[in-house]
Amino acid sequence: MARTCPSRVVLHRIGARWTVFVVNALEPGPKRFVELKTHIQGITPKVLTETLRTLERDGLVLRTDHEESPPRVEYELTALGRSLLEPLRAVRLWAEAHVPEIQAANAAAVARGR
């Protein structure tokens, strides 16, 4: 668990606020910028751009500019990106399964006077 441990860096990337949502959104297949933006409700274009650029640098996402008019840019998962889907699905399923417990815990904490 040293600061320099590379897996720490990787986990830091994965832990970045929006990567999980972007990768999940790309699961069914390639998507365009605007599609991603509307699918992941609440993300701003700036943050989406940054997230996609980071994922591209890390080799998880492939960006294809078709150089057409009107512009068409598609983002899709690479093999590496798809390999991340399985562990992420486990986390997402956990989250969905345990939302009630967490909300109950929060409510209890508030009731105790937070």
Partner DNA sequence: TAACGCGGTATCGAAAGCATACCGTGACGG
Partner DNA sequence: CCGTCACGGTATGCTTTCGATACCGCGTTA
Residues of the shown chain interacting with DNA in the complex, contacts defined by CB under 7 A: 16-18, 32-35, 42-47, 49-50, 63, 65, 69-73
Burial 88-104 (b: 16+ CB within 10 A, else e): beeeeeeeeeeeeeeee
Q: Which residue has 């150089």 as its token pair?
A: 67
By CB under 8 A, name the binding residues for a copy of itself: 1-3, 6-17, 20-21, 25, 39-42, 56-60, 80, 83-84, 86-88, 90-96, 98-99, 101-106, 108-109, 114
Phi, psi dihedral angles at 12 (to 5 degrees): -60, -40
Least distance from C-beta 68 to a copy of itself, angstroms? 23
Q: Which is nearer to DNA, 17 or 97 (CB)?
A: 17
Q: How far does Cα 43 stand from its chain's mean position? A: 11
Q: Which is nearer to a copy of itself, 71 or 87 (CB)?
A: 87
Least distance from C-beta 58 to a copy of itself, angstroms? 5
Please report, for residues 55, 70, 71, 105, the alpha-carbon distance to residue 17 in angstroms, rounded to integers and kept in the order given. Answer: 13, 31, 28, 23
